[in-house]
């Protein structure tokens, strides 16, 4: 059993198996990963990997909103210690930052990666090699940052990585702007989903992301992710092995709709959802010119967000941002 500090000051205990292989091992052994790979690349011919449904032929290296053609682009990969507590552990989360994004928030905290420098194109072998290197460094997981637009490339690299002995759980670290069709291809491949839930009011999603249907897709995506992996399971060493983590970035003037987002998570997903209510917003990209988001959030705004999480009934908040770790 392992224990998790909750907001009421007590501990929640979770029974877990002594050892859990990542789900994708069974899919690999049954040749199902190869089947999923073929289906995933089929989505690129008239691209509909994400809710944008650009319809361009990425197999011929055409590019749509995400600016990515046949090959994935990598901005960086490393052992990362700035992620959520159960992902980092002692040796870090093995993060692979993909260039560009399918949502492209105008205030993106990684604006240089998502909007400006889209990274270097890599083939399947290169991507698999990065995964293996991160495992050899002792990372606790392979954390794909903004993976939505490169799902086929990830599956292809995973097959090669498994053949070379990789056994780490995979983290799907997305904006929440994901399609059910693509997520269903990932059932049993990713053990850990970590989506954002950015906006409740779609007028702000349209203003800052040109995504007037963001809320609806995020709600559907998070429901599907939770159906696949359930609440977060953490082992005896405090390391996540399977389950859902949701991030919510607190924005100035409450344009993110914190109360509605957190109430949705608690009431319609699970009050045991591991949630990171984040306070690190700063004006990036073009945010400095926007009257609503041209400043950092105040201490009062963040305190109110944490109180809202408690009122909503969420009891598993990331220790880094709650000051409990």
pLDDT digits (tens, 9 = 90+) for 127-165: 999 999 999 999 999 999 999 999 999 999 999 999 999
Instruction: Say yes or no to pLDDT of 15 above 50.
Output: no
**Any domain includes 17:** no
Identify the bridge partners of residue 54 per DSSP, sorted by sequence position: none
* 84-118 pLDDT tens trace: 999 999 999 999 999 999 999 999 988 788 877 67
Residues 6+ apart with CB under 8 A from 250: 256, 258, 277, 278, 279, 281, 297, 301, 302, 305
Q: Quick one: what percent of the chain has pLDDT higher than 70?
A: 91
Q: What is the pLDDT of residue 111?
A: 79
Kindly tell me if the per-residue pLDDT of 5 is higher than 60.
Answer: no
What mean pLDDT, rounded, does the chain reach?
92
Q: Which residue has the higher pLDDT, 96 or 6?
A: 96
In this structure, is residue 83 part of a structural domain? Answer: yes
Those residues with Cβ within 8 angstroms of residue 295's Cβ, 6 or more apart along the chain or in another chain: 252, 283
The per-residue pLDDT for 320 is 54
Q: What would the pLDDT profile of 18-52 be if each residue is shown by its tens digit?
A: 456 899 999 999 999 999 999 999 999 999 999 99
Whole-number pLDDT of residue 322: 45
User: Could you give the CA distance from residue 142 to residue 130 in angstroms, rounded to a whole number?
Assistant: 10
pLDDT in tens, 58-85: 999 999 999 999 999 999 999 999 999 9
Q: What pTM was computed for the model?
A: 0.92
In this predicted structure, the answer to whether residue 11 has a pLDDT above a threshold of 50 is no
Assess if residue 15 is contained within a domain.
Answer: no
Q: What gap in Å lies between CA 274 and CA 247, rounded to an integer? A: 9
Q: How many domains does the chain have?
A: 1
Q: Is residue 52 part of a domain?
A: yes
Query: What is the arithmetic mean of pLDDT over 156-178?
Result: 97
CA–centroid distance for 54 within its chain: 22
Q: Is residue 16 part of a domain?
A: no
Q: Is 269 within a domain?
A: yes
Apex 235 CA angle, 233 and 241, nearest 5: 50
pLDDT for the residue 112: 85
* pLDDT at residue 270 greater than cutoff 80: yes
Whether residue 180 is predicted with pLDDT greater than 60 in this model: the reply is: yes
Residues near 141 by beta carbon (within 8 Å), at least 6 away in sequence: 87, 93, 94, 168, 169, 170, 171, 192, 240
- Which CATH number does the domain housing residue 93 bear? 3.20.20.70
Residue at 212 is within a domain: yes
Please report the pLDDT score of residue 20 as a whole number. 65
**243 located within any domain:** yes
- Residue 46: give the domain boundaries: 2-7+24-322
């Amino acid at each position: 059993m392992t224990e998790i500090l909750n907001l009421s000051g007590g501990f929640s205990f979770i029974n877990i198996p002594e050892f859990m292989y990542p789900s994708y091992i069974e899919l690999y052994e049954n040749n199902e990963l190869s089947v999923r790979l073929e289906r995933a690349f089929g989505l690129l011919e008239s691209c509909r990997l994400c809710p944008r449904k650009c319809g361009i032929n990425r197999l011929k290296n055409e590019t749509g909103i995400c600016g990515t053609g046949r090959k994935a682009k990598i901005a960086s990969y490393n052992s990362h210690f700035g992620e959520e507590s159960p992902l980092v552990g002692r040796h870090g989360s093995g993060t692979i930052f993909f260039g560009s994004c399918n949502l492209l928030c105008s205030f993106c905290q990684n604006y240089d990666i998502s909007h400006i420098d889209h990274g270097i194109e890599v083939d399947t072998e290169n991507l698999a090699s990065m995964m293996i290197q991160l495992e050899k460094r002792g990372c606790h997981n392979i954390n794909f940052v903004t993976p939505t637009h490169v799902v086929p490339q990830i599956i292809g690299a995973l097959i090669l990585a498994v053949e070379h002995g990789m056994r780490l759980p995979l983290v799907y670290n997305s904006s929440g702007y994901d399609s059910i069709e693509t997520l269903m291809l990932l059932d049993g491949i990713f053990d850990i989903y970590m989506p954002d839930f950015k906006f409740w009011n779609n007028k702000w999603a349209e203003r800052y992301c040109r995504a007037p249907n963001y809320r609806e897709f995020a709600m559907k995506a998070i429901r599907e992710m939770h159906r696949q992996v359930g609440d977060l399971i953490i082992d005896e060493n405090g390391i996540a092995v399977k389950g859902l983590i949701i991030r919510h970035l607190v924005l100035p003037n409450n344009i993110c709709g914190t109360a509605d987002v957190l109430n949705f998570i608690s009431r319609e997903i699970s009050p045991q959802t591991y949630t990171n209510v984040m306070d690190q917003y700063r004006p990036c990209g073009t945010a400095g010119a926007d009257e609503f988001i041209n400043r950092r959030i105040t201490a009062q705004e963040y305190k109110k967000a944490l109180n809202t999480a408690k009122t909503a009934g969420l009891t598993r908040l990331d220790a880094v941002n709650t000051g409990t770790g």
